Amino acid sequence: MRARALVLGILSSTAVLAVGWQLGTQGETQPAPDAVAASTAGTSTPGTPTVTPDATSTPAPSASASAAATAAPAATPTPTVAGGVSGTFTGTSVQTRFGPVQVQITVADGTITDVTALQLTDKDQRSVSISNRAAPVLRQEVLTAQSANVQGVSGATYTSDGYLSSLQSALDQAGL
Amino acid sequence: MTVGVHVFDTMGTTVSLRFADEVAAASVLDGIEAVFREFDHRFSLYRADSELSRVARGDLSLTRAGAAVRSAYADALDWARSTGGAFTPHRPDGVVDLSGIVKAQAMDAAARVLENAGEAHWMLGVGGDILTRGTFHGQPWAAGVVDPDDRGALICTIGFTGTRRALATSGTAERGEHIWRTGGLAQPHYRQVSVWAGDIVTADVLATALLAGGPGRCQEMLDRFDIDVVAIDDDGSITATPGLQRARGLMPA
């Protein structure tokens, strides 16, 4: 479910994910729809999604510092008895705010089980994960504006202007 | 340690401008006040004579409004697109309301005045939004994120280093909801969202978008934009992205 949500999230900026969606709906053994190449035109050269039979042993994608994608060697998908395609699929590189990015999906029985974004601009040309996630945190200490050694405060805008102004005003007057 | 503070009221809120050393020359301060005044006159829906109020009443067609209004509206539409509609310049009644973006744009314009004047070390706070340049006597400028449940307390403090120069917070504390939420009442909500970004427009717009979109849209925004987030859920639990999980006052759960 999370993978599906993530796919949705990246979809608009990374056309390579067309691979994933195509996979979700198509037949057993066609993991490399031509639509991928077409939809990434302009930011990358068409590439063939890499298919690794073993989902856990993914080859490092060929890195490229430019926006142009490096076509990865094609492999054969592994159809399973259950009827869906399985494997790891790496899309072509597209230009994003991180620089060139490739998206990799893991598919089991025709269902996406994981989506990973790979960044290709690491200085050693290695692929690195770029995921940025919000995770639970706990409060470690009680901080007050008076004691925390801050010069400004950020709070809910519009609704709390009066209070924020007075808090900021106190800081201003203290010349902190 | 010296600190120069210049405070003035505008756009229905208070501007706090701090300099690490002496306050900038009077002409620079005048220029900054003029920037905010101009934005207020043009965009405020609280002023019956503003250009945007005339648009809202139907006295002036948006296509005939001045270039500044059309440009701000175009920017807001771009943000609506890039946030998948979580940010919107349209009120439910159809009125074009650019207040979600113009305060940050005014701060941006004020920053240009300061930079053109050669001011390298300052913190600009406007109604809870913060933009900084340089350092405070060699230390990062620091701001606290206010606790919505205890307005005298801070959730955490954030030091402005590297390219993260802006912090904005949106919330529903005190006077109830002011953000038009997407997704209905059954969805989980954030009570307060702070966004730490490279520029104040991104921080401000995305804080609004995340508050409106809720936790269900958070990952999508994190994938699309280069930001850090600290957010408080309806039940008071706090989540943060890696860049803020160890901000002073917080620790990973």
Per-residue model confidence (pLDDT) at position B140:
96
Between B224 and B32, residue with greater pLDDT:
B32
- The verdict on A176 touching B (C-beta cutoff 8 Å) is yes
B interface test, pick of A137, A142, A171 with most B CB neighbours within 10 Å: A137
Q: Is the pLDDT of residue B37 over 90?
A: yes
pTM above 0.90, yes or no: no
Size of interface A-B (CB pairs under 8 A): 218
Mean pLDDT of chain B: 91
Q: Is the pLDDT of residue B89 over 60?
A: yes
Closest CA to B130 of B100, B108, B163, B153: B108
Q: Is the pLDDT of residue A66 over 60?
A: no
Domain A61-176, second-level architecture: Alpha-Beta Complex (3.90)
> ipTM of the predicted structure?
0.87
Of B152, B178, B250, the CB nearest to A140: B250
- The verdict on A159 touching B (C-beta cutoff 8 Å) is yes
∠B20-B228-A63 over CA atoms, to 5°? 115
Q: Is B152 within 8 Å of A144 (Cβ atoms)?
A: yes
Mean pLDDT of chain A: 56
Q: Return the domain boundaries, chain A.
A: 1-29, 61-176
**Which chain A positions have a beta carbon within 8 Å of B224's beta carbon?**
9-10, 12-13, 97
Q: Residue B92 burial (CB < 10 Å; 0-12/13-18/19+)?
A: exposed
B interface test, pick of A121, A138, A157, A166 with most B CB neighbours within 10 Å: A157
**How far is residue B231's CA from residue B237's CA, in Å, rounded to a whole number?**
8
Of B175, B229, B249, the CB nearest to A159: B175
Residues 21-80, chain A, touching B (beta carbon < 8 A): none
